[in-house]
């Protein structure tokens, strides 16, 4: 099997490259820009892969509100370019999407979203990714749309830090952190996401899948998990989202279940705290 990984130098991209090993051919943003339909087609036609894994995104959520044209070009039309080029050579496509396609439903929601729940995004990033999902499903019948959340991985991305690293750095420099308690999610280790994606591809699965580490927590609980596991002493101040003055609205609750995995005979991902421990150990922090 030959697999093209788009966005191969990103945090998920690097774990996909590791998971697929010699089967993977990586394309960095410099090698291939998903917004360039002709460039995408020419790269995919010359490689003739069996699967194309598209991790590319403009995912700085607040910046998407300022530049919706770039958000839609990368996250929706870019996704279509990749799905179409893959279809033209008979390849399957995996598109990585987000829990931020949810949030507009019930503000008091407290039970996890299933794959069958209708998306209702509340910011430009979520709207552009929901559009990308639809375009990918329409353009390539061999599609796997993977929604994940709160990604962190051992690879250094251009963003420069992961949430756990940011927390540890702030604790060391300031001695205290302020973290929101009113946004809940299912944070996910990219190494686990990459391995489970490989299992889906090997099964020739089709359709929409939620892939997150099991369980849910608020960002505050996630940060506390980091400090507990890493043995870092820090003063934690719980805050509310309306104290953060971010440009984009965030879902107050976007935890997801991974029920469709079981339907195709695959096991769920391990609990988020266990995965976080594995990440901290892989980073040499514990």
Write out the catalytic residue numbers: 125
If the CB atoms of residues 154 and 266 are measured against ligand NAP, the closer one turns out to be 154
Q: Does 7 bind ligand NAP (CB under 6 A)?
A: yes
Contact indicator for 128, 64 with CB cutoff of 8 Å: yes
Contact indicator for 152, 185 with CB cutoff of 8 Å: no
Burial of 38 (0-12, 13-18, 19+ CB in 10 A): exposed
User: Is residue 233 classed as helix, strand or coil in its secondary structure?
Assistant: coil
CB of 15 to ligand NAP, least distance (A): 8
Quickly list DSSP for 184-223. EE--EEHHHHHHHHHHHHHTT--EEEE---BS-EEHHHHH
Report how many residues bind ligand NAP under the rule CB under 6 A: 28
Q: Does 26 bind ligand NAP (CB under 6 A)?
A: no
If the CB atoms of residues 16 and 171 are measured against ligand NAP, the closer one turns out to be 16
Q: Does 251 bind ligand NAP (CB under 6 A)?
A: no
Segment interacting with ligand NAP (CB under 6 A) among 18-26, 107-115, 155-163, 238-246? 155-163
Segment interacting with ligand NAP (CB under 6 A) among 148-156, 173-181, 202-210, 272-280? 148-156
CA–CA gap between residue 49 and residue 7 (Å, rounded): 16
* Sheet (strand 92-98) strand order: 24-27, 3-6, 51-54, 92-98, 143-148, 207-210
Contact indicator for 267, 197 with CB cutoff of 8 Å: no
- Taking Cα atoms as reference points, which of 121, 146, 6, 133 lies closest to residue 61? 121
Q: Does 10 bind ligand NAP (CB under 6 A)?
A: yes
Contact indicator for 136, 83 with CB cutoff of 8 Å: yes
Binding mask 41-70 for ligand NAP (x = CB under 6 A): --------------xxxxx-----------
Burial of 14 (0-12, 13-18, 19+ CB in 10 A): buried
User: Is residue 232 classed as helix, strand or coil in its secondary structure?
Assistant: coil
Strand-pair partners of 93: 52, 143
Q: Which of 78, 121, 225, 251 binds ligand NAP (CB under 6 A)?
A: 78
Q: Does 74 bind ligand NAP (CB under 6 A)?
A: yes
Binding mask 183-222 for ligand NAP (x = CB under 6 A): ----------------------------------------
If the CB atoms of residues 142 and 188 are measured against ligand NAP, the closer one turns out to be 188
Q: Does 35 bind ligand NAP (CB under 6 A)?
A: yes
Which positions from 83 through 102 interact with ligand NAP, judged by CB under 6 A? 96, 98
Q: Does 252 bind ligand NAP (CB under 6 A)?
A: no
Which residues would be at the binding site for ligand NAP (CB under 6 A)?
Answer: 6-7, 9-13, 29, 32-35, 55-59, 74, 78, 96, 98, 148-151, 157-159
């Amino acid at each position: 099997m030959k697999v093209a990984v788009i966005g191969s130098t990103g945090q998920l991209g690097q774990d996909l490259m590791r998971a697929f090993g010699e089967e993977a051919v990586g394309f960095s943003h410099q090698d291939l820009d998903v917004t360039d339909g002709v460039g995408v087609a020419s790269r995919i036609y010359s490689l003739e892969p069996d699967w194309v894994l598209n991790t590319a995104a403009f995912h700085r959520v607040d910046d998407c509100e300022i530049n919706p044209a770039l958000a839609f070009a990368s996250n929706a039309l870019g996704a279509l370019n990749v799905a179409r080029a893959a279809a033209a050579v008979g390849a399957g496509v995996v598109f990585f999407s987000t829990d931020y396609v949810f949030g507009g439903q019930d503000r008091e929601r407290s039970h996890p979203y299933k794959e069958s729940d209708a998306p209702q995004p509340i910011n430009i990033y979520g709207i552009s990714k929901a559009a990308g999902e639809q375009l990918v499903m329409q353009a390539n019948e061999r599609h796997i749309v993977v929604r994940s959340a709160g990604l962190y991985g051992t690879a250094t991305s251009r963003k420069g830090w992961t949430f756990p690293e940011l927390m540890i750095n702030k604790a060391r420099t300031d001695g205290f952190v302020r973290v929101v308690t009113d946004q809940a999610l299912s944070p996910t280790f990219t190494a686990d996401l990459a391995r489970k994606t490989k299992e889906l591809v090997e099964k020739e699965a089709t359709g929409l899948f939620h892939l997150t580490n099991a369980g849910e927590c608020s960002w505050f609980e996630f940060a506390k998990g980091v400090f507990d596991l890493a043995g870092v002493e820090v003063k934690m101040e719980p805050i509310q989202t309306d104290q953060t003055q971010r440009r984009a609205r965030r879902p107050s609750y976007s935890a997801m279940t991974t029920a469709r995995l079981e339907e195709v005979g695959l096991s769920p991902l391990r609990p988020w705290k266990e995965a976080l421990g594995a990440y901290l150990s892989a980073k040499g922090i514990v």
